[in-house]
């Protein structure tokens, strides 16, 4: 029988919720940055040196003295990049830019940024297609042969831990009438040996691709970015100069995010430890008979089925000091409710074994395994 680890404080892999202590498998500081002294130093240095209210409108090569700006271009396999304060503003401006130029937007139903008003107000220029249904995309393109299309997909779908089926997408998007809008989602900073995301799946990015992303899911106050060809970025930039507000990333955001990119590509990168923990948890769960979904190791969805049973499982885990994520309808389809587990680099093997013991105990009680 695995005993409960000795807890010295509520920090690290264990957190306090209310007055109770839980082993945190719900996400958060999965790379352990709050305990990283180098991150704390870089954070304070950038905060002290940055003028948060007066910064260049955009991050150009001629304006940057911190780090070679082609670092991000190389990681994303594109020619030019613009940086923004936040992802919502970026997507709003991008969608507006495309709609003004007459593009028909084809958006995967699991695309995370469908809360953007211009996407949510579905009309003839915005069509939602079933998840990963490339046959539906082809039908739209064939039916509107005189139109140009922008296909919105993402590298990782966190609710299912699925990776983008790259080959099917590239085959579907060979036409000159098609733009690929690929949101990196959780791939940024986590997929690939140096957290390079999509580029770890595609050696050479197609010319018609636009990469959008942010490290904000793992790095507080990160900038957001859009990377594409010089032609597309120049056209987008021209539109942005007419905006009544300033969407640029602050100097602080630029400094801390580029420090983070370098950190992920250094010998001190925590990505190997995260991968080891996630793969161990995935393998052991599958061995015990759990239905583990997806391909993307750091996000581990465990399929339960009916929403009532998933809620019972979630509450049972809480009673046993395990904090996870409950995914019920309408986040996921009816009958496919699940628990999402997100390990971190701060978890020891003893922590993971403790979690596995409790997961197995509760699941057997409820007849899940």
* Confidence tier at 64 by pLDDT (50, 70, 90): very low
* CA–CA gap between residue 354 and residue 323 (Å, rounded): 12
CATH class name, domain 38-264: alpha beta
pLDDT category, 237, cuts 50, 70, 90? confident
For the packed helices 349-366 and 271-287, what is the interaxial angle rounded to 10 degrees? 30
Q: Are 156 and 111 in contact (CB under 8 A)?
A: no
The CATH classification of domain 14-32+271-366, taken from the options 3.40.50.410, 3.90.1150.10, 3.40.50.2300, 3.20.20.140: 3.90.1150.10
Please work out, in degrees rounded to the nearest 5, the angle formed at the alpha carbon of residue 199 by the alpha carbons of 194 and 202. Answer: 140
Q: How far apart, in whole angstroms, are the C-alpha atoms of residue 18 and residue 77?
A: 45
State the pLDDT confidence band at 172, using cuts at 50, 70 and 90: confident
Nearest to 250 by CA among 118, 26, 56: 56
Instruction: Name the percent of the chain lying above pLDDT 70.
Output: 86
Per domain, the residue ranges of the chain are 14-32+271-366, 38-264
pLDDT at 58 over 50: no
- More confident call, 167 vs 353: 353
Residue 193 has pLDDT above 70, yes or no: yes
Of 246, 188, 245, 199, nearest in space to 222 by CA: 188
């Amino acid at each position: 029988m695995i005993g409960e680890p000795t807890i010295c404080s509520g920090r690290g892999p264990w957190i306090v919720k209310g007055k109770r202590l839980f082993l945190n498998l719900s996400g958060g500081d999965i790379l352990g940055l709050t305990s990283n002294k180098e991150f704390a130093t870089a954070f304070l240095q950038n905060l002290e040196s940055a003028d948060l209210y007066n910064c260049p409108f955009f991050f150009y090569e001629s304006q940057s003295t911190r780090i070679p700006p082609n670092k991000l271009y190389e990681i994303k396999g594109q020619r030019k990049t613009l940086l923004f304060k936040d992802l919502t503003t970026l997507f709003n401006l991008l969608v507006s830019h495309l709609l003004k130029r007459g593009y028909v937007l084809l958006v995967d139903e699991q695309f995370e940024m469908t809360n953007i008003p211009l996407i949510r107000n579905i009309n003839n220029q915005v069509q939602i297609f079933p998840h990963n249904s490339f046959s539906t995309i082809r039908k739209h393109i064939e039916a509107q042969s005189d139109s140009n299309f922008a296909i919105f997909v993402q590298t990782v779908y966190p609710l299912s831990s699925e990776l983008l089926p790259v080959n099917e997408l590239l085959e579907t998007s060979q036409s000159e009438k098609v733009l690929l809008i690929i949101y990196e989602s959780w791939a940024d900073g986590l997929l690939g040996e140096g957290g390079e995301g999509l580029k770890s799946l595609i050696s050479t990015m197609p010319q018609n691709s636009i990469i959008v992303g942010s490290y904000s899911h793992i790095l507080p106050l990160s900038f957001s970015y859009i990377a594409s060809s010089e032609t597309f970025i120049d056209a987008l930039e021209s539109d942005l100069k007419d905006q009544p507000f300033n969407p640029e990333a602050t100097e602080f955001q630029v400094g801390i995010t580029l420090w983070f990119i370098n950190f992920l590509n250094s010998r001190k990168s925590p990505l190997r430890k995260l991968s080891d923990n996630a793969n161990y948890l995935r393998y052991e769960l599958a061995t015990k008979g759990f239905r583990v979904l997806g391909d993307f190791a750091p996000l581990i969805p465990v399929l339960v089925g009916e929403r009532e049973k998933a809620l019972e499982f979630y509450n049972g885990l809480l009673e046993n000091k395990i904090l996870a994520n409950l995914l019920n309808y309408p986040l996921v389809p009816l009958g496919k409710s699940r628990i999402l587990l997100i390990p971190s680099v701060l978890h020891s093997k003893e922590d993971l074994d403790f979690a596995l013991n409790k997961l197995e105990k509760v699941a057997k009680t409820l007849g899940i395994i």
